[in-house]
Each structure stands twice: as structure tokens, then as C-alpha cells.
């Protein structure tokens, strides 16, 4: 086959060639570049194979699209499988679009969709709604317009406001009278749903999508640009059939849009957070340390993650202050009401054996998921903590949910008390106080002197608090219980710094102490003569 024949073959089979390229490109994009975005989506839901779960979804407008999206998202638990499933969804979208417009044109809405999903809170329900609307349009293409009397209300209920894509595509291909009548009828249907049926939802949500975005009342611009682009490109395909080099221009536009989608659509700072969360979830401690050595986030989230990684690899007493420390909250943060910020602190409490605090954070994080969904990751943690406390009846409630899932089922059927949780947890009851987190770590260590991580967190917290007296008073515990061959360099550096009142050159702890004092003065925080925080 010569080059000319090969070119003719590609021209005749452009839809297949581009669909294959779409699958490969999307798969590599999510699996290689952004697997942590898939992990974030998966941990914010728990798809259950129960009739109640199905009914709870389809009982609201756009529910079928939401249910189908959540079904796909559950596969994100296995990174390569999730990326492959998502790539198939993109291919399905492309194939449907290529039946509505020229195959080369169909790439543009697909790339815009990729850009749209750079917002980590955009739900897969949005793309599934577009697929349902396009499939309905193609299925009804040769049907008379009066059949839409039934199809339009059904599609609005199953796919949500994306049904307007179906309405517009159908209307512009009818005679003017029928097109206007269909549009008017669809507007009446939408109004009835918004003002009569869906009274429990804000009107804006009924008109713009209940389950398209994880943050209620949030409507990114691309949510409206994509269906508009589909309509315009479908019209352009009909009007510009014989324009030369049109396919080349469309392909070039798709390539340029892909570049900007990656550079602009995916916020670097947000995805750094998602990547750290992903690494913590998978306990890839050395990867967290390597990542932080090259570039560490200058906030408490990054500090908590790297300190946990250092503790799990036995490096915390040696290297803690070679990394950025945000302040007294660098080992554990007080709870913030969202579904991501405090996950590293929850995991820290889990690995320390602070069962009740881990469980409380897991509950609060799950309740902070604005879609109202449960989280497989949080439910698993809650069940583990309940088992460690001996609350078997409560644990069975959560394990029962996990048994109705696909990827958590095997764990739930074999769930047992984690040995470290049972051994390291507190032995006595008391009131937890985050403002005295150093005492919490100290009491945890005293309840089990074999909990070396609790000892290192206790001493590390005294240093973060600039509590020189407390650190020197309890440093002997490191020699007695730490099992170190010699004093860890981090502790030795802190001792030199304390003895010389911070006047030590090339001291990591002295650098932290000076920056902490400066921040404390700027914030009006009092420091006593022993350098401890009031």
C-alpha cells in the first residue's frame, strides 16, 4: 500500500482511526498524568449494588445520568481500569458526535469536555447526560416531531437540563413552525419540573443541573459552552461540506485546545494537593518524600503529608526540619469543614493509633461531601476504628454497606481489627483537646511506650511549639525508648539551637525558630521566656 492509498484509507475510515486515537490519548492522559484525579473522584462516592441506591438516584432529575456516571467512577479504584473505562466513555461520546457532525469536528467538543473535567468537582454525570441526549437525538432523528411529547419530559428527567441539547438539535432540523413548537413545549416541561415537581431544589439547580457539579449552585462556563459548540459545529458541518482543508483546520484546533486544556484547565496547586492525597492513600511514603525534596507545598497540608511519610519511614527525628514546617499545625491540623483538607491528619491519627479522633475526622470528612454521597474510603476507616474499639454492631453497619460494593466487598468480608490500632490506642477515656495536641501525643505514648511514632510526634510537637523546656525535659524518653544507636541529628540540632538560644549557623531548627517567631509577632501571638507558645 503506497502513501496515497494509505491516505485514502485513512480518509474513508477516519471515524475509526480518530476513535482509536481518542481511546489511547485519553487513557494515557488519565492513567499516566492524572491518576490522582481519578482517586479523588472515587473516594467521594460509594456505589452500591442495591435497589435503594438506584431508586435514590433516579428519583431526581438527571438521576439516570448520575447513576451511570457513578457506576463508571467506581472503577477508578483500580487506576488502569478506571482510565480505560473513562477512555471508553470519551470514545462513545466521540462516536455519537461524529454522527451529528464531521468526524474531525467531533474532536473539538471532546477536547472541551477534557478541559471541563480539569475542574475536579465536575461529575461524570455531565458527560453521561450529553451521551444520553445525543443518543436520543440519533435514535429519534427520523421520527415525527409529535413523538417528542413523550421523549422530552422523559429525557429531562433522565439526563437533566442537558436535554436542551436534544431539543435544539431536533428543533433546528424541523420546519420553523414545528421547531418553535418543540422549543416552547420543552420550556413548559422545564418550568413545570422546576416550579412544581422539584420544589426541594433551588430553581437554578433545576434549570442548570442538579448532579453535574459536586458543589451545589456552581455552573462553570464550559458547562454551557460545550453544548453550544456541538450545535454550532453540527450546523457548520452541513454548511461547509465542500470547503477545502476544513478537516485539517479542525484537527489543528483540537490539538491547540488540548494543549490549553492541560495548561489552563488543570490548576497546578489543586492537583498538587490531589497528588499528595493519592500518595498518602496508597501509603507511597518514599514518593511523598521524593516529591517534597523537589518541591514542597508551603502550607500545613504539605507539612502534615511529608511528616507522616517521614514518620512511616523512620526519618522524622532525623529530617523533620529539613522540610518546610508550617507551624504548630504541621503534624496534625484542627478540623476544617471540607472533604479533602484534613484527610492527611485523619490518616496520621490512624497510623498513630488515635482511633476515636481518626473516626471523628472520617465522619466529618464524609459529611462534608456536598453531593450527600458516602465515601468508600471513609466508610472503611470508620469500620476499622469501630472494630478496634470493640463496637462490632456499629462496625457491621458500615461493613454491610461495603459488602454491597464492588471493590470494597472482599475487604469487608475479611475485615479484622488492625493489630497496631488495638495495641497503640489510648487505654483510658478523657476529653480530647486539639489545642493541647502535644499532651495528646504524650499521653498516647505513655499508654504504650512501644508506640515509637507517638514518641516522635510528641517530641516533634514540642519543637513545633517552640517549647524548649518541654523538649529538654522529655528528650530522655528518646534515648530510653527510641532505640536509636545515637542521638538523631534532628534532635541534636534542636539541642544545640536551644542551648545557644537560636544563634546557630546552618541549623534547620534555628531557621524554623526564627521564621516562627517572626510569624508569631506578625500575628500578635505571645511567646514566653522558655520560647513556648501561649
Q: What is the pLDDT of residues 388-430, one digit of tens each?
A: 999 999 999 999 999 999 999 999 999 888 887 888 888 887 7
Spatial contact of 157 and 191, defined as CB atoms under 8 Å apart: no
Give the pLDDT confidence of 25-81 residue by residue, as tens digits. 999 999 999 999 999 999 999 999 999 999 999 999 999 999 999 999 999 999 999
Region 239-258 average pLDDT: 83
Write 82-86 long-range contacts (CB < 8 A, 24+): 82/30, 82/38, 82/42, 83/26, 83/27, 83/30, 83/31, 83/35, 83/38, 84/27, 84/31, 86/26, 86/27, 86/30, 86/38, 86/124
- Indicate whether 1 pLDDT > 70: no
Greater confidence, 198 or 490?
490
Please check the confidence at residue 13 and state whether its pLDDT lies above 80.
Answer: no
CB atoms within 10 A of CB 523: 8
Mean pLDDT of 314-334: 95
Do 214 and 370 meet the contact criterion of CB atoms below 8 Å apart?
yes
What is the predicted pLDDT for the residue at 526? Answer: 58
The predicted-structure confidence for 416-473, as pLDDT tens digits, reads as follows 888 878 888 888 877 888 999 999 999 999 999 999 999 999 999 999 999 999 999 9
pLDDT band per the 50, 70, 90 thresholds, residue 6 = very low
Closest CA to 103 of 260, 227, 231, 246: 246
Longest pairwise C-alpha distance within the chain: 89
What b/e sequence results for 214-242 when a residue is b if at least 16 CB atoms lie within 10 Å of its CB, and e otherwise? beeebebebbeebbebbbebbebbeeeee
Task: Report the 10 Å Cβ neighbour count for 532.
Answer: 17
* Number of C-beta neighbours around residue 55 at 10 A: 11
CA distance 17 to 114: 19
Per-domain residue ranges of the chain: 15-266, 276-354+426-523
Q: State the DSSP code for 527.
A: B
Query: What is the reported pTM?
Result: 0.92
Query: 96-153 pLDDT, tens per residue?
Result: 999 999 998 999 999 999 999 999 999 999 999 999 999 999 999 989 888 999 999 9
Q: In this model, does residue 241 exceed pLDDT 80? A: no
Burial category of 518 from C-beta neighbours within 10 Å (exposed 0-12, middle 13-18, buried 19 and up): exposed
Amino acid at each position: 500500500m503506497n502513501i496515497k492509498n494509505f491516505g485514502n484509507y485513512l480518509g474513508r475510515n477516519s471515524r475509526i482511526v480518530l476513535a482509536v486515537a481518542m481511546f489511547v490519548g485519553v487513557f494515557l492522559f488519565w492513567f499516566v498524568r492524572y491518576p490522582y484525579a481519578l482517586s479523588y473522584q472515587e473516594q467521594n462516592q460509594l456505589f452500591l449494588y442495591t435497589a435503594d441506591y438506584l431508586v435514590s438516584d433516579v428519583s431526581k432529575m438527571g438521576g439516570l445520568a448520575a447513576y451511570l456516571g457513578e457506576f463508571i467512577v467506581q472503577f477508578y479504584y483500580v487506576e488502569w481500569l478506571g482510565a480505560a473505562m473513562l477512555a471508553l466513555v470519551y470514545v462513545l461520546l466521540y462516536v455519537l458526535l461524529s454522527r451529528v457532525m464531521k468526524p474531525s469536528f467531533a474532536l473539538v467538543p471532546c477536547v472541551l469536555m477534557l478541559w471541563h473535567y480539569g475542574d475536579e468537582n465536575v461529575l461524570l454525570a455531565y458527560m453521561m447526560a450529553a451521551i444520553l441526549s445525543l443518543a436520543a437525538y440519533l435514535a429519534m432523528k427520523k421520527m415525527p416531531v409529535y413523538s417528542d411529547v413523550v421523549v422530552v419530559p422523559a429525557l429531562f428527567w433522565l439526563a437533566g437540563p442537558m436535554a436542551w441539547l436534544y431539543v435544539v438539535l431536533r428543533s433546528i432540523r424541523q420546519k420553523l413552525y414545528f421547531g418553535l413548537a418543540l422549543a416552547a413545549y420543552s420550556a413548559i416541561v422545564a418550568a413545570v419540573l422546576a416550579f412544581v415537581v422539584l420544589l426541594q431544589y433551588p430553581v437554578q439547580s433545576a434549570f442548570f443541573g442538579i448532579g453535574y457539579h459536586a458543589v451545589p449552585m456552581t455552573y462553570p462556563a464550559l458547562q454551557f459552552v460545550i453544548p453550544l459548540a456541538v450545535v454550532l459545529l453540527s450546523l457548520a458541518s452541513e454548511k461547509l461540506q465542500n470547503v477545502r482543508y476544513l478537516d485539517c483546520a479542525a484537527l489543528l484546533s483540537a490539538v491547540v485546545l488540548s494543549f490549553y486544556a492541560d495548561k489552563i484547565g488543570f490548576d497546578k496547586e489543586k492537583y498538587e494537593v490531589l497528588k499528595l492525597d493519592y500518595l498518602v492513600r496508597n501509603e507511597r511514603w518514599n514518593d511523598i518524600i521524593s516529591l517534597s525534596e523537589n518541591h514542597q507545598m508551603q502550607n500545613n497540608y504539605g507539612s502534615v503529608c511529608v511528616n507522616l511519610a517521614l514518620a512511616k519511614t523512620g526519618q522524622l527525628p532525623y529530617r523533620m526540619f529539613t522540610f518546610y514546617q508550617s507551624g504548630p499545625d504541621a503534624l496534625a491540623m484542627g478540623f476544617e469543614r471540607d472533604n479533602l483538607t484534613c484527610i492527611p491528619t485523619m490518616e496520621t491519627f490512624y497510623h498513630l493509633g488515635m482511633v476515636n479522633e481518626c473516626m471523628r475526622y472520617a465522619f466529618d470528612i464524609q459529611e462534608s461531601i456536598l453531593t450527600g454521597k458516602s465515601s468508600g474510603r471513609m466508610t472503611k476507616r470508620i469500620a476499622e476504628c469501630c472494630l478496634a474499639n470493640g463496637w462490632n454492631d456499629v462496625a457491621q453497619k458500615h461493613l454491610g454497606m461495603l459488602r454491597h460494593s464492588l471493590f470494597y466487598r472482599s475487604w469487608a468480608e475479611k475485615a479484622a481489627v488492625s493489630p497496631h490500632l488495638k495495641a497503640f490506642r489510648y487505654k483510658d477515656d478523657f476529653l480530647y483537646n486539639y489545642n493541647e495536641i502535644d499532651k495528646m501525643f504524650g499521653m498516647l505514648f505513655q499508654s504504650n511506650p512501644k508506640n515509637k511514632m507517638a514518641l516522635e510526634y510528641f517530641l516533634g510537637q514540642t519543637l513545633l511549639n517552640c517549647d524548649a523546656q518541654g523538649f529538654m525535659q522529655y528528650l530522655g524518653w528518646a534515648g530510653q525508648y527510641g532505640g536509636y544507636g545515637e542521638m538523631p541529628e534532628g534532635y541534636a540540632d534542636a539541642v544545640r539551637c536551644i542551648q545557644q538560644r537560636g544563634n546557630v549557623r546552618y541549623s534547620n531548627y534555628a531557621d524554623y525558630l526564627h521564621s516562627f517567631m517572626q510569624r508569631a509577632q506578625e500575628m500578635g501571638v505571645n511567646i514566653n521566656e522558655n520560647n513556648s507558645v501561649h
